[in-house]
């Protein structure tokens, strides 16, 4: 097989860093050696208060691995992906090896393009239903990566999960450590290479809604607005739990988000209940029998907002050269 052109790897790494991450912490590093790219968890960038076990950071690394893979695929390269391949290196999240050439499908090219348009939309969404075909497309996207998306309106879990989101939001609003961590990473300038800029925040809600977005992300320079009544909520699940399942869930989540972008849908996250012990345990109990919940997505139609910054690839990349 001919060596991939450097620009193909450059493009794949530029795609990788466009992945979403909690508070835009970008908890990843990449190592390129010959025809292999490794994705490493960067412990220094794991949120100590909201994510002490690195679950959300592993979701983010899984999303970065998915972006890498889909970009290589869109360029006609076949890949073999191994997740957490070395028990002695728990921070080595994924290894992506090139495996010859294989023509990209139109669907793969569409997802690879969506990487550079996908963003978290915290603004009010339109009160317009997501049609069954689009819902089905997101379901297939999750299944394709070994995950599952469960729509809460269909499963009867909407009200209890929405209540856990509100409970967790209230607990965090009352906790100095949560507030300090969120304050550090939010309300950044638009050009900030990490963290969440004000331009990516939504207006404060007019009144309490059925789900609460993070108060820490509200932009109080904007006038209060009415949010949609009952957004479509989808929980990303896997059959198993633990680090491997978290990386897999991150890949499934990212395929869902990119499929949503390609379908013209806006997405955002409601992670608060995963971040406080009591609400996380309640979530686990609520989904017992259905799977392990990893993240909660709000999905609907809205007006696109600005993309947020990223650290440049060279800051997160090491080239390893084998001696001899």
In whole angstroms, the minimum distance from the beta carbon of 106 to ligand FMN comes to 25
Segment near ligand FMN (CB under 6 A); pick from 2-10, 16-24, 134-142, 316-324: 16-24
Among 67, 69, 71, 120, binds ligand FMN (CB under 6 A): 120
Among 98, 172, 308, 316, binds ligand FMN (CB under 6 A): 308
Among 119, 157, 166, 188, binds ligand FMN (CB under 6 A): 119
Instruction: Dig out the tokens for 316 from the structure.
Output: 């997160």
In whole angstroms, the minimum distance from the beta carbon of 254 to ligand FMN comes to 9
| Whole-angstrom distance, CA of residue 245 vs CA of residue 243 | 5
CA angle, 271 as apex, 51 and 191 as ends, to 5°? 80
| Whole-angstrom distance, CA of residue 169 vs CA of residue 163 | 10
Interface with ligand FMN, residue 61, by CB under 6 A = no
Among 29, 135, 166, 214, binds ligand FMN (CB under 6 A): 214
Interface with ligand FMN, residue 58, by CB under 6 A = no
Nearer of residues 22 and 124 to ligand FMN, judged by Cβ: 22
Interface with ligand FMN, residue 20, by CB under 6 A = yes
Instruction: Dig out the tokens for 137 from the structure.
Output: 């497309």
Segment near ligand FMN (CB under 6 A); pick from 17-25, 203-211, 237-245, 282-290: 17-25
Among 11, 15, 24, 276, binds ligand FMN (CB under 6 A): 24
Facing residues of 198 across strands? Answer: none
Number of chain positions touching ligand FMN (CB under 6 A): 22
In whole angstroms, the minimum distance from the beta carbon of 70 to ligand FMN comes to 16
| Whole-angstrom distance, CA of residue 66 vs CA of residue 48 | 25
Nearer of residues 98 and 282 to ligand FMN, judged by Cβ: 282
When CB distances to ligand FMN are compared, the closest residue is 20
| Whole-angstrom distance, CA of residue 13 vs CA of residue 17 | 6
Kindly identify the residues of this chain, within the stretch 127-186, that bind ligand FMN according to CB under 6 A.
none
| Whole-angstrom distance, CA of residue 63 vs CA of residue 39 | 10
Among 14, 37, 60, 249, binds ligand FMN (CB under 6 A): 60
Kindly identify the residues of this chain, within the stretch 248-287, that bind ligand FMN according to CB under 6 A.
268-272
Nearer of residues 24 and 259 to ligand FMN, judged by Cβ: 24
Nearer of residues 22 and 157 to ligand FMN, judged by Cβ: 22
Nearer of residues 83 and 104 to ligand FMN, judged by Cβ: 83
In whole angstroms, the minimum distance from the beta carbon of 214 to ligand FMN comes to 5
In whole angstroms, the minimum distance from the beta carbon of 99 to ligand FMN comes to 28
Angle between helices 106-114 and 55-74 (to 10 degrees): 130
Residues that bind ligand FMN (CB under 6 A): 20-24, 56, 59-60, 119-120, 122, 196, 200, 214, 217, 268-272, 295, 308
């Amino acid at each position: 097989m001919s060596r991939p052109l450097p620009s193909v790897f450059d493009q794949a790494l530029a795609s990788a860093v466009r992945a979403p991450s909690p508070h835009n912490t970008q908890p990843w590093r990449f190592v390129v050696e010959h025809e292999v790219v490794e994705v490493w968890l960067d412990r220094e960038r794991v949120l100590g208060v909201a994510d002490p076990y690195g679950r959300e950071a592993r979701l983010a690394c899984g999303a970065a691995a998915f972006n890498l893979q889909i970009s290589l695929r869109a360029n006609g390269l076949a890949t073999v992906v191994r997740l957490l391949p070395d028990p002695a290196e728990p921070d080595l999240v994924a290894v992506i090896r090139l495996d010859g050439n294989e023509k990209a499908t139109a669907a793969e090219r569409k997802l690879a393009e969506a990487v550079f348009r996908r963003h978290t939309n915290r603004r009010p969404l339109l009160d317009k239903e997501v049609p069954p075909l689009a819902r089905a497309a997101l379901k297939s996207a999750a299944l394709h990566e070994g995950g599952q998306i469960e729509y809460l309106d269909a499963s009867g879990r909407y009200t209890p999960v929405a209540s856990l989101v509100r409970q967790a939001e209230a607990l965090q609003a009352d906790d100095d450590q949560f507030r300090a961590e969120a304050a550090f990473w939010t309300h950044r300038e638009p050009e900030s290479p990490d963290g969440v800029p004000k331009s990516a925040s939504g207006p404060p809600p007019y009144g309490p809604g059925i789900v609460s977005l993070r108060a820490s992300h509200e932009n109080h320079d904007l006038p209060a607005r009415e949010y949609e009544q009952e957004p479509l909520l989808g929980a990303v699940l896997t059959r198993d739990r633990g680090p491997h399942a978290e990386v897999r869930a991150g890949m499934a989540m990212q395929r869902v988000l990119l499929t949503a972008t390609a379908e013209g849908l806006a997405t955002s996250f409601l992670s608060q209940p995963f971040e406080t012990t009591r609400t996380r345990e309640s979530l686990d109990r609520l989904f017992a029998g259905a799977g392990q919940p990893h993240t909660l997505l709000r999905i609907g139609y809205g007006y696109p907002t600005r993309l947020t910054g990223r650290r440049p690839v060279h800051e997160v990349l090491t080239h390893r050269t084998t001696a001899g």
